[in-house]
Amino acid sequence: MTAQLIDGNALARRTRDEVAGQVRTLLARGTIPGLAVLLVGDDPASQVYVRHKVADCESVGMRSMLARLPATLGEAELLARIRALNDDSTVHGILVQLPLPRHLDAQRVIETIDPAKDVDGFHVANAGALMVGRAGFRPCTPWGCMRMLEAIGCDPRGKHAVVVGRSNIVGKPMAMLLLQAHATVTVCHSATPDLGAFTRQADIVVAAVGRRGLIAADMVKPGAVVIDVGMNRDDAGKLCGDVDFAGVREALGPDGWITPVPGGVGPMTRAMLLVNTVQAAQAAAAVA
């Protein structure tokens, strides 16, 4: 018997249905939730992500505004656009797709977004709010991973969670969310010797490095929950994660859980962006 699958598509569908209901309530009160998406340059993966985000907004009745900007765009111009969106009361969420072209300072760009519209949760004000346990936007990918744990009835309290990866987008906020949920958290990264020695102790493994085959079958404990945030291509060009899916699924046994790639974390990341955007619109409507 192999580990059970955490179905990201089904959970994302349920989440979108909830958001659609909240959107209908806002519409009835005269607020159309709106997300502005800024795409700078023509990174192929970013184009796909952005297209999905816009389609997701439509699917729940939200308005989206997509600006496709040239790779040569100057930083002053980008910051001016963001400031204009900050001042636009029909825009509740602002998302700048990353990565940005190298001549742009991503952190400075993100910090120009009004924290109340930072639905990615990347602004230092939101990162800091997470750090100290205050309300704020949580980054969509780790927030979606927490929803997945909840959906399978996995309470992190007292469990050992091993997060592999320390990015600002996934690894660090993931560790904070798990800590807030009372897990004992270990963060591993590229300079960690003998990664398996850590992951084999884990009740929960979150793999967020971007390297296929990173988590092999002999690196997990039977009965653990394995969440694969990786987005890679195999030799045949097929999408795959950081986890050796078939081998690890077998090694986890019938009491374990694993997310597939595709159909795991990705759909939940998209769904959580909608959750954050409707929340931003609710907050704006409450103070209007």
Residues marked active site are found at: 53, 97, 120
Determine phi and psi for 255, rounding to 5 degrees: -90, -5
Task: State the nearest-atom distance from the C-beta of 135 to ligand GUN, in Å.
Answer: 20
Task: State the nearest-atom distance from the C-beta of 253 to ligand GUN, in Å.
Answer: 32
Among candidates 110, 121, 66, 55, which has minimal Cα distance to 272? 121
Nearer of residues 224 and 229 to ligand GUN, judged by Cβ: 229
Task: State the nearest-atom distance from the C-beta of 34 to ligand GUN, in Å.
Answer: 16
On the 0-12 / 13-18 / 19+ scale of CB atoms within 10 A, 177 is buried
Nearer of residues 38 and 185 to ligand GUN, judged by Cβ: 38
Nearer of residues 126 and 141 to ligand GUN, judged by Cβ: 141
Nearer of residues 116 and 140 to ligand GUN, judged by Cβ: 140
Binding site for ligand GUN (CB under 6 A): 95-98, 120, 140-141, 169
28: Cβ contacts below 8 Å, ≥ 6 apart: none
Q: Which residue in the shown chain puts its C-beta closest to ligand GUN?
A: 98
Task: State the nearest-atom distance from the C-beta of 140 to ligand GUN, in Å.
Answer: 5
Give CA–CA dist 228/164, Å, rounded.
Answer: 10
Give CA–CA dist 147/153, Å, rounded.
Answer: 10
HEC string of 48-97 equals HHHHHHHHHHHHCCCEEEEEEECCCCCHHHHHHHHHHHHCCCCCCEEEEC
Positive or negative: CA dihedral 124, 117, 99, 275: positive
Nearer of residues 97 and 126 to ligand GUN, judged by Cβ: 97
Q: Token match 């656009």: residue?
A: 81
On the 0-12 / 13-18 / 19+ scale of CB atoms within 10 A, 70 is exposed
Task: State the nearest-atom distance from the C-beta of 27 to ligand GUN, in Å.
Answer: 26
